[in-house]
Amino acid sequence: MPLTQDQIDEIEKSRAETQPTRRVVATALEDQLYRAVPILDHGFVRVIDYMGDDNAVVQAARVSYGRGTRKVSQDAGLIRYLMRHRHTTPFEMCEIKFHIKLPIFVARQWIRHRTANVNEYSARYSILDREFYIPDQAQLASQSTANHQGRGAVLQGAEAQEVLDILRSDSTQVYDHYAHMLNEDAEGNPVDADRSGLARELARMNLSLNFYTQWYWKTNLHNLMHFLSLRADPHAQYEIRVYADAMIDMMRAWVPLTTDAFEEYRLGGVHLSRTALDIVRRMLAGEQVSQESSGLSAREWREMMGALGRE
C-alpha cells in the first residue's frame, strides 16, 4: 500500500480544511489537492501547493493589471503563440509543489533536473520503511542491442521468475540486515538491550537502489514542462515515465490551456535541424533523397524518418 490509514486520514483532514482567499484558484486542481495518486507498487505523487493558473501566464505576457475581458480563445491563442515561439518567462510565473514517493534509482535519475527546489526524506534521522520496488513481469526486459540506455525483449517464463525471486530475496535480506544493524523499533528503542545499534547514517548504506524514498519537489511551470517533455517521452524509462504521465494529468487540471499547447508543440511535435528541414523541402519538391546524400548521420536519418512516419 502506498499510504497507511493514518496517512489517508491526515490527507482527508487537510482536504476538509478550507479558507477564503483572493488568490487565483484552479478549481479542478483544488479538487485533487493533497490526494495521492498511486504509482508503481508503493509510490505516489500528489500536489501539495501551487501558485497561478493559465491566466497568470497571459497576465505576465501582457503585463496587465487583472484578468481582463478577453475571450478564452484569445488567451489560448496567446499561450499557443508563447509555446510555439519558445517565450518561456511567462510560464515561470506559475509554480507547483509535489510530494513524491519513488524508488531511489528513479530519484537519482530525476535529480539530474536541477531546476527545482528539493527536500528529501533523510535516513540519517529516520528509519526507512520495508518498501522496495519489484517490477511487474511485463517490465522485465533484456538489454537492448540497439540502444545502450534502453530495453529489448521482455523476459518470459522461468527466466523472468528467477529475476523476480532474486530481487525479492536480495531486497528482503538487505532490509533484514539494515534493521539488525539499527537495533531499533519504530519508537527508537533498542530491540536487543544487550547490544548497541549502528548509527542510522551508516546503516542506510547497505540499502539497495530499489528501496523507496520521498521528497517535496517544487518547480515553476516552464521547468515542469521541460521535465515532462523528457520524462513523458515514449523513450523515457518506464519507472519515471509513469510519474510524468500522472503529473501531466495534474498539470491539465491546473493549467488546461497551457497543457493543450504543451501537448501540441512539445510532446506531440518534433524539432527539425536546419539540414533536416532542407531535406523535407527537397522531398516535397519531388527529389529522391537518401541517407547517403542527405548530409545526416545514419542515426539522425532514422530519427527524422521516424518522426515523419517513413521508417
Catalytic residue positions, numbered:
231
* C-alpha cell of residue 76: 489560448
d(CA 304, CA 298): 10
The answer to whether 115 and 219 are in contact (CB under 8 A) is yes
Distance CA 248, CA 228 (A): 7
Residues 6+ away with beta carbon under 8 Å from 278: none
Q: How far apart are CA 256 and CA 301, in angstroms?
A: 35
Q: What is the DSSP string of 24-52?
A: ---HHHHTTTTPPEEETTTEEEEEEEEE-
Axis crossing angle, helix 54-62 with helix 72-84, rounded to the nearest 10: 70
